[in-house]
Amino acid sequence: DLSMRLQRAAEYVPQGARLADIGSDHAYLPVALMLQNRISYGIAGEVVKGPFESAKRQVAKNGLVDKIDVRLADGLEAITLADDISAVTICGMGGVLIRDILQRGKEQTRLSGNERLILQPNVGERQLRGWLVQEGYTIIAESILEENQKVYEIIVAEKKDETTAYSAKEVFFGPHLLQEQNKIFIEKWQHKLIKSEKILASLKRSDQDVADKIKEVEQEITWIQ
C-alpha cells in the first residue's frame, strides 16, 4: 500500500495518464497506479543505481515490464517528447531540487508544457511555487497532510491559455492552502511562527549586516500572524 503522502499525490494523476515519476526510488507510485488501471503507461526515472535497481525489481515482481519503463537518468532526462507524457510526478525531494530538475528539463526541451505537474516537496515549497509562477504555470490544486509527525504539501500545476497572477503571499503559503486554511495548515504555520520569532530575535542580536534578512523574516511573521 502507498503511504498517505504518495496516495494523496496519486489522486491528482489523471485517469489514463502517461506518467513519468521522477526520483521514483522503488517505483511504488507508478506500480500502484498501473495495478489500479489508473495510468496507461509509466516511466520510473532514477539517477542513483541502487534505487534504479529497486524500481526494476518492483516493476518485474508485479509483471509490469511491458507497461512501465525504468530508466537510469538525471531528472527529466528520463523522458523525451516522443514519450508523450501527460503527467509528471516528482515527490519526496526538496523544493529547490524539484525546481532545478524542472528548469533543466525545460532547457533541454523535455517538457511540452501540456503535462500536469504533481509535485511533493519536503521543504522549499515557496521556491518551487516561485518557479512555477515565473514560468507561467497555474497552480490548479494543493493539498497538505500530516503523516508520521511530518507535514507534506502537494502542488499541482498546469499551463493554461491564460496565466494567473499570484501575490508574494500566495507564493509563500500556497494560493489554495491559504484559501482553505485547514487544521494542518494552521498548525504548520503556528509552528513556523515560533521558529521565525526565534530566528528574528537571533538576527537582531547579530553584529553582522543582516538588515535585509531581518526585513524578510519580519514580513513572513506579519503574514503568518
Among 43, 46, 125, 127, binds ligand SAM (CB under 6 A): 46
Q: How far apart are CA 97 and CA 155, in angstroms?
A: 15
Q: Applying CB under 6 A, which of residues 92, 95, 105, 121 lies at the interface with ligand SAM?
A: 92
From residue 132, how far is each of 5, 62, 194 by CA, in Å?
21, 35, 28
Please calculate the CA angle 135-112-11 and round it to the nearest 5 degrees: 80
Question: Residue 175: enclosing H or E segment and its boundaries?
Answer: helix 175-180
* Separation of alpha carbons 98 and 137, rounded Å: 15
CB of 31 closer than 8 Å to CB of 7: no
Task: Choose the stretch contacting ligand SAM; rule: CB under 6 A; options: 17-25, 152-160, 171-179, 204-212.
Answer: 17-25
Instruction: Pick from 70, 93, 119, 154 the residue near ligand SAM by CB under 6 A.
Output: 93
Number of residues that bind ligand SAM (CB under 6 A): 16
The window from 39-47, 163-171, 187-195, 206-214 that contacts ligand SAM (CB under 6 A) reads 39-47
Q: Would you give the DSSP letter of residue 124?
A: -
Q: Interface residues for ligand SAM in 51-80 (CB under 6 A)?
A: 51, 74-75
Local structure of 127: helix, strand or coil: helix
Nearer Cβ to ligand SAM, position 90 or 171? Answer: 90
118 makes contact with ligand SAM (CB under 6 A): no
From 44, 85, 101, 144, residue interacting with ligand SAM (rule: CB under 6 A): 101
d(CA 22, CA 155): 15
Of 16-24, 59-67, 138-146, 182-190, the segment contacting ligand SAM by CB under 6 A is: 16-24
Residues that bind ligand SAM (CB under 6 A): 6, 22-25, 45-48, 51, 74-75, 91-93, 101
